[in-house]
């Protein structure tokens, strides 16, 4: 019997692994503050991953005929190292790139960043967390001076009188978290902003709150309008603004242009509802005697070309109400990936070193270089964000080789057709995975890795709480941890630094590298975690109790004050046209996770949600002649996808929805836009312009590019 945590989302539900009635390992929930003894379908079936039929258990090399053949670890690592050396000798260090994942443990993320910068010495490293929370991270850093998704424990939500939730479908993505909204629902204070009447939006029914089905891509305008009302009606916490913030005058001037009637015309949310929501949030704030209020954002608000500014507007609203830094109130971002928080803190992000230190800061470089035993000048400079990196692959001045760890880019990247072409153009693609994902099937080498229940390590949850992952079973013979793989490659590439393979040793080094940084783990140890301590970073010493709630004494800027930044809408990059007159929004379903590379291999999950679909309103379906039993094609200027229509009144008549977990013909990211936020580098997954048509009973059912994707 082993106590550990779920391998999927950032809620990191506590679970127990033990033999079931059939003798196979089975997962069951255990009591923990975030999941309170609950678990979703993905967690209950997570042990099935350990028995997936197509598990890779030996290194695979693509032969000249395009087939994969098993090779020894020595042969695989020798050849990969030789090809990397040859490419770098011919084209320079930056000809090799690294792409990581938000599901890697802190230890793996840390060592991957160290390997990239000290062994490969490339500046080209980024990770799929750029698709997850980077806009909220950028906004948090400029407003608060620090980025921790939730600067308070999730359990704090339970006492609030009002919660404004923008662009997050918690009821499907992390169902156990819904328990923490029980109190605010009882008090009628839950407000969900989403173009769809999602499972989370339905939590507002029967007097529990209010659903705002805004026009896709207008979250920023909505927030500016709410802030306008708070300031114009004298609902702001004036004392808090004077004592704890800078920049109010600029924000006041910027929101003056967004009076309720104008906001209503842009968002589709009428003036009366806007005023009611603003007044409800204000009444719940501590300054007006309320029990507390929260403003929370998710990917629906962030995955836009103005995502950083949208989150900034959410923070501005929270600051106007005096919420951040007060117990029972605040602003928070709901992180998606299992280690989306820790994954970016310790070196996978193109501009960061461990401890959330910035790579262009001389003192940061000096500190980390001393821990690594290298000269600061030997560390490469800032790289580029994920989408930029992917679009450079195989070009004349871009990387010619790529290592992929914990990411399935062929399904998860925006404008995935182009990304697939870029991956196929590389001289060398090495994918570390435990199943043959769609990305792995393009590789020159697939290196089989351990899974979550076969390894030790740590993860950092959406609250900034560091938790222990524990091994429950022995991995199959022939697979290795990424730590072992990186050490093996490092030895062959002449590494001058230590690349430990013991997770405890790696974590102790991470602690030293992070010491004094914004994400300070120096006081967190395996011993303290194993003793059951709830440790939230920053935790600078072993005597420190950790920091469950940030900002009580001040914000992380030098003067202790929060920065309010005036923002304005940029508008959608890919707006409606005569040829593409319908909005597309994307998201998740309850049974699947991320690219589906794991959950699509679990029979019970796949039986419940076997295929993608396109959700459209009855009015739109009638206009297009779609009856709901046929497949439809969704087409943008980038590509197409095909899936069965699902007619539902739970979506706006001008919008269609499709989940992003599926591959082949149903890959919705063939359609999505790779335009990015200029500050965070996050792509605009959440809205683009499309045409929708029924797939006819005769003639070609798909476009040529879809047939290519399916192959």
In order, the DSSP letters of 533-572 are --EES---STT----SS--SS--SSTTS-EEP--------
pLDDT higher than threshold 60 for residue 707: no
pLDDT higher than threshold 70 for residue 405: yes
Residues 320 and 230 sit within 8 Å (Cβ to Cβ): yes
The number of beta carbons lying within 10 Å of the beta carbon of residue 392 is: 17
642 - beta bridge partners?
A: 633
Q: What is the model's pLDDT at position 10?
A: 95
| C-alpha distance across the termini of the chain, in Å | 43
CATH topology of domain 582-710: Barwin-like endoglucanases (2.40.40)
Comparison of pLDDT for 698 and 493, the residue scoring more: 493
Q: What is the model's pLDDT at position 344?
A: 87
Domain at 60-132+339-449+481-518, CATH class: alpha beta
Domain boundaries in the chain?
2-51, 60-132+339-449+481-518, 134-334, 582-710
Q: What is the model's pLDDT at position 23?
A: 80
Q: Please state, for a pLDDT cut of 90, what percent of the chain lies above it.
A: 95
Q: What is the pTM of this model?
A: 0.96
pLDDT higher than threshold 80 for residue 709: no
pLDDT higher than threshold 50 for residue 703: no
Residues 487 and 502 sit within 8 Å (Cβ to Cβ): no
Q: What is the model's pLDDT at position 198?
A: 97
CATH topology of domain 2-51: N-terminal domain of TfIIb (2.20.25)
pLDDT in tens, 154-201: 999 999 999 999 999 999 999 999 999 999 999 999 999 999 999 999
Q: Grade residue 696 by pLDDT with cuts at 50, 70 and 90.
A: low
Which residue do the tokens 């990239």 mark? 116
pLDDT in tens, 616-675: 999 999 999 998 889 999 999 999 999 999 999 999 999 999 999 999 999 999 999 999
Q: What is the model's pLDDT at position 201?
A: 98
Domain at 134-334, CATH class: alpha beta
Largest interatomic CA distance in the chain: 72
* Sheet containing strand 96-100, strands side by side: 68-70, 60-62, 445-448, 428-433, 401-405, 96-100, 125-127
Average pLDDT (683-699) is: 85
Q: Where are the beta strands (DSSP E) in 610-711?
A: 613-616, 631-635, 640-647, 655-659, 688-694
Q: Please state, for a pLDDT cut of 70, what percent of the chain lies above it.
A: 98
Q: What is the model's pLDDT at position 133?
A: 86
pLDDT in tens, 96-135: 999 999 999 999 999 999 999 999 999 999 999 999 889 9
* Sheet containing strand 535-536, strands side by side: 457-460, 465-469, 535-536
**Nearest-CA neighbor of 690 among 640, 621, 624, 631?**
640
Task: State the chain's mean pLDDT as an integer.
Answer: 95
pLDDT higher than threshold 70 for residue 341: yes
Q: What is the model's pLDDT at position 700?
A: 41
Q: Grade residue 711 by pLDDT with cuts at 50, 70 and 90.
A: very low
As a whole number of angstroms, the distance between CA 210 and CA 212 comes to 7
Domain 2-51 identical in fold to domain 60-132+339-449+481-518: no
pLDDT in tens, 500-539: 999 999 999 999 999 999 999 999 999 999 999 999 999 9
Task: Determine if the peptide bond prior to 40 is cis (ω within 30°).
Answer: no
């Amino acid at each position: 019997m082993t106590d550990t945590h779920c391998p999927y989302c950032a809620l990191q539900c506590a679970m127990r692994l033990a033999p079931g009635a059939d003798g196979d390992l089975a997962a069951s929930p255990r009591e923990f503050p975030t999941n309170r003894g609950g678990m979703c379908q993905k967690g209950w079936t997570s042990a099935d991953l350990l028995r997936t039929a197509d598990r890779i258990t030996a290194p695979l090399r693509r032969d000249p005929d395009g087939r994969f053949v098993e090779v020894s670890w020595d042969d695989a690592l020798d050849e990969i190292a030789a090809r990397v050396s040859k490419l770098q000798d011919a084209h320079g260090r930056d000809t090799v790139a690294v792409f990581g994942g938000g599901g890697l443990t802190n230890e793996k993320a840390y060592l991957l960043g160290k390997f990239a910068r000290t062994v490969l010495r490339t500046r080209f490293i980024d990770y799929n967390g750029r698709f997850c929370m980077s806009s909220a991270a950028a906004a948090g850093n400029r407003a608060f001076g620090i980025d921790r998704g939730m600067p308070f424990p999730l359990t704090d939500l339970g006492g609030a009188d009002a919660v404004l939730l923008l662009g997050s479908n918690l009821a499907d993505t992390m169902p156990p978290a819904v328990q923490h909204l029980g109190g605010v629902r009882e008090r009628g204070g839950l407000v969900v902003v989403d173009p769809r009447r999602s499972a989370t939006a339905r939590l507002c029914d029967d007097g529990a709150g209010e659903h705002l089905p805004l026009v896709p891509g207008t979250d920023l305008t909505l927030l500016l309008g709410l802030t306008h009302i708070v300031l114009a009606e004298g609902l702001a916490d004036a004392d808090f603004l004077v004592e704890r913030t800078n920049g109010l005058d600029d924000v006041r001037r910027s929101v003056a242009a967004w009076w309720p009637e104008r906001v209503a015309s842009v968002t589709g949310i009428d003036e009366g509802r806007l005023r009611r929501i603003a007044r409800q949030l204000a009444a719940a704030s501590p300054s007006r005697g309320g029990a507390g209020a929260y403003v929370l954002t998710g990917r629906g608000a962030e995955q836009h070309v103005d995502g950083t500014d949208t989150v900034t507007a959410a923070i501005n609203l929270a600051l106007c109400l005096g919420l951040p830094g007060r117990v029972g109130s605040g602003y928070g971002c709901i992180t998606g990936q299992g280690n989306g928080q820790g994954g970016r803190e310790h070196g996978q992000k193109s501009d960061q070193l461990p401890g959330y230190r910035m790579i262009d800061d001389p003192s940061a470089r000096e500190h980390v270089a001393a821990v690594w035993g290298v000269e600061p000048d030997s560390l490469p400079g800032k790289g580029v964000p994920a989408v930029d990196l992917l679009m450079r692959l195989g070009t004349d001045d871009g990387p010619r080789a790529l290592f992929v760890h914990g990411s399935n880019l062929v399904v998860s990247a925006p404008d995935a057709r182009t990304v697939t072409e870029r991956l196929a153009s590389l001289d060398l693609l090495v994918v570390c995975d435990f199943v043959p994902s769609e990305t792995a099937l393009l590789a020159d080498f697939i290196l089989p890795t351990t899974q979550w229940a076969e390894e030790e390590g740590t993860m950092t949850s959406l609250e900034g709480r560091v938790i222990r992952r524990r091994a429950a079973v022995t991995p199959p013979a022939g697979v290795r941890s990424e730590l072992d793989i990186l050490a093996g490659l490092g030895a062959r590439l002449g590494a001058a630094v230590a690349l430990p393979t013991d997770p405890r040793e790696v974590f102790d080094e991470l602690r030293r590298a992070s010491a004094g940084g914004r994400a300070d783990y120096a006081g967190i140890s395996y011993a303290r975690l194993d003793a059951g301590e709830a440790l939230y970073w920053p935790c600078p010493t072993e005597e420190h109790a950790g920091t469950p709630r940030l900002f009580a004494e001040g914000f992380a800027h030098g003067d202790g004050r929060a920065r309010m930044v005036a923002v304005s809408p940029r508008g959608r990059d890919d707006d409606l046209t005569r040829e593409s007159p319908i909005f597309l929004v994307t998201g998740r379903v309850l049974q699947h996770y991320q690219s589906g590379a794991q959950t699509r291999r679990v029979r019970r999950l796949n039986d419940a949600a076997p295929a993608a679909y396109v959700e459209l309103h009855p009015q739109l379906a009638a206009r297009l002649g779609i009856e709901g039993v046929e497949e439809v094609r969704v087409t943008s200027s980038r590509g197409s996808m095909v899936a069965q229509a699902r007619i539902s009144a739970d979506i706006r008549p001008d919008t269609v929805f499709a989940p992003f977990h599926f591959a082949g013909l149903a890959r919705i990211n063939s359609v999505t836009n790779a335009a990015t936020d200029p500050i965070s580098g996050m792509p605009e997954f959440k809205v683009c312009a499309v045409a929708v048509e029924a797939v006819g009973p005769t003639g070609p059912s798909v476009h040529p590019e879809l047939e290519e994707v399916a192959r």
